Amino acid sequence: GAVVSQHPSWVICKSGTSVKIECRSLDFQATTMFWYRQFPKQSLMLMATSNEGSKATYEQGVEKDKFLINHASLTLSTLTVTSAHPEDSSFYICSASEGASGNQPQHFGDGTRLSIL
């Protein structure tokens, strides 16, 4: 089946640091990748939709200059949390689908747990 790899799994860093998270589709080409954030005991929140070769579409309330997304190839999208602060601590999860058609599920990476001290 479709496999999505996300790296790193855990990040602990000081306030003000920028953190880059990678999301790769290992055995399929992903025209579209999605970035989610999930706070403890809360539901998934879509942050942005990343399309290969074009600018990401951000959800309302998500700062595009704070969360930089690059989707340079059909198998790789990156999310950079710039100048991270403690309130950015969360579980970040990427997903990818093989196409936009109805029956294509999103396959998720294992997530990145980000802790900003």
**Which of 16-24, 44-52, 69-77, 81-89 is the region at the interface with another protein (rule: CB under 8 A)?**
44-52
- Taking the complex as a whole, the smallest distance from the CB of residue 28 to another protein amounts, in Å, to 14
Closer Cβ to another protein, 3 or 83, answer by number:
3
How many helices (DSSP H) and strands (DSSP E) are in the chain? 0, 11
Gap between the Cα atoms of 20 and 78, Å rounded: 7
DSSP per-residue string spanning 14-37: -TT--EEEEEEESSS--SEEEEEE
Residues that bind another protein (CB under 8 A): 6, 34, 42-44, 46, 49, 91, 93, 100-103, 105-111, 113
